[in-house]
Amino acid sequence: MRAYNYLLAAAAMGAAALFSSCTPDEKPDDGQDPVFSSATEGTVEASAEGDTCIIAYVLENPDENGGVEATSDAVEADGTEWIFGYDYSVDGEISFEVAANEAEESREATVTVTYNYPEGEEQSFSVKVVQAGMPAETMPDDEPYVLGHVNHYWSVFDLVEHNPDYSGSLLRDSVQTMVAAVEIEYNELAESCAYCLWQGDFSEMSYDDLYLSTKNAAQMAYKGDNPATLIFVTPGATSTLCSIAVDAEGNYGKMDIEYVTYTEEGKSMDFELYDEFYQTLISR
């Protein structure tokens, strides 16, 4: 009787094993698929100066061979990525770096976070990242003040290709093969500006010495006159633009300083703007 019961028990165990076994391509009957979702609500905001940001996620029933990956469409016109350095070392979080935004306008991108695991379908979600722009430089209103800018510079070769008639005036120097536009912004008390676009980085020079040198060597610009002055510059070089406001009585105010490096990536392709500046200069 005991032997019979033992055989019945063994047969029952064999049948159970037969019906509960599974092939390598199948999940156990009681297994659950991974569930991947965002734990970050709304947008991720980054400061204009650059930031380290975090996207949080929830992963239920993780697969031991699964993995999380983040990508974004944050790419500049020159191909540089301004969101980078993804770090997955903390469970449930992805941290990343956001490069400084030099423009006054804000910018945004989408970060897509994906979870992949063998024999399963990809799961993903997206989060918008919004980065503030640099605040516009402000001028005091209780003294004469100006802001000098070099927002645009062009390759002379691009300009000649745009308009062959420029060849006579532009193709005259084998070194200074870019043209920079110096633009001056005036506050209400400033009537003119003494400025100099120094060739070189003068950041190590004292303010007082640079002020005096600029005052002595300056060109003059006047409110309501030409929108810009066009000056030949050297590709790859750095210039120091110094601008001193002058009021209606001839009193000199403080000096504004701006540094600009002329890169191939930063050159302007706005040829119509150059046409406008050039035509204004030759018509006066």
| Per-residue pLDDT in tens (0 to 9) along the chain, 284 residues | 333 333 333 333 343 333 333 333 444 444 689 999 999 999 999 999 999 999 999 999 999 999 999 999 999 888 889 999 999 999 999 999 999 998 888 999 999 999 999 989 999 999 999 999 988 777 788 899 999 999 999 999 999 999 999 999 999 899 999 999 999 999 999 999 999 999 999 999 999 999 999 999 999 999 998 889 999 999 999 999 999 999 999 999 999 999 999 999 999 999 999 999 999 988 87
Is residue 97 in a domain? yes
Q: Do 57 and 182 sit in the same domain of this protein?
A: no
Are 166 and 266 in a shared domain?
yes
Q: Are residues 172 and 273 in the same domain?
A: yes
Tokens 């003294």 locate to 143
Helix (H) / strand (E) element for 212: namely helix 207-217
Distance of CA 41 to the CA centre of its chain: 24
Residues 125 and 187 in one domain: no
One domain for residues 211 and 108: no
The predicted pLDDT at position 31 comes to 67
Q: Is residue 92 part of a domain?
A: yes
The reported pLDDT for the residue numbered 226 is 85
- 24 within a domain of the structure (yes/no): no
In a domain, 85, yes or no: yes
Q: Given this model, what pLDDT does residue 170 score?
A: 95
Residues 41, 107: one domain?
Answer: yes
Residue 3 maps to a domain:
no
Domain residues for 191? 146-282
Within this chain, do residues 277 and 151 fall inside the same structural domain, yes or no? yes
- Select from 211, 90, 239 the least CA-distant residue to 150: 239
- Domain termination residue (choose one: 131, 161, 180): 131
Q: What pLDDT, on the 0 to 100 scale, is given for residue 10?
A: 34
Chosen domain end from 131, 155, 186: 131
Which of 131, 159, 176 is the C-terminal boundary of a domain?
A: 131
Q: And the tokens for 60?
A: 């239920």
Q: Are residues 103 and 197 in the same domain?
A: no
Answer yes or no: do 116 and 42 share one domain.
Answer: yes
Residue 276 lies in a domain: yes
In this prediction, residue 284 carries a pLDDT of 73
Number of folded domains that form the chain: 2
CATH of the domain at 126: 2.60.40.10
Give yes or no: residues 165 and 251 share one domain.
yes
97 and 122 part of one domain:
yes
Q: Give the count of alpha carbons within 13 A of 260, CB side only.
A: 25
Q: What is the DSSP letter of 190?
A: -
Q: What angle do CA 271, 275, 279 make, to 5 degrees?
A: 170
* Amino acid of residue 175: V
What does the alpha-carbon distance between residue 2 and residue 9 come to, in Å, rounded to a whole number?
10
On whether both 115 and 203 belong to a single domain, the answer is no
In a domain, 23, yes or no: no
- Domain assignment of residue 172, yes or no: yes
Instruction: List residues bridging with 95 in a β-sheet.
Output: 54, 87
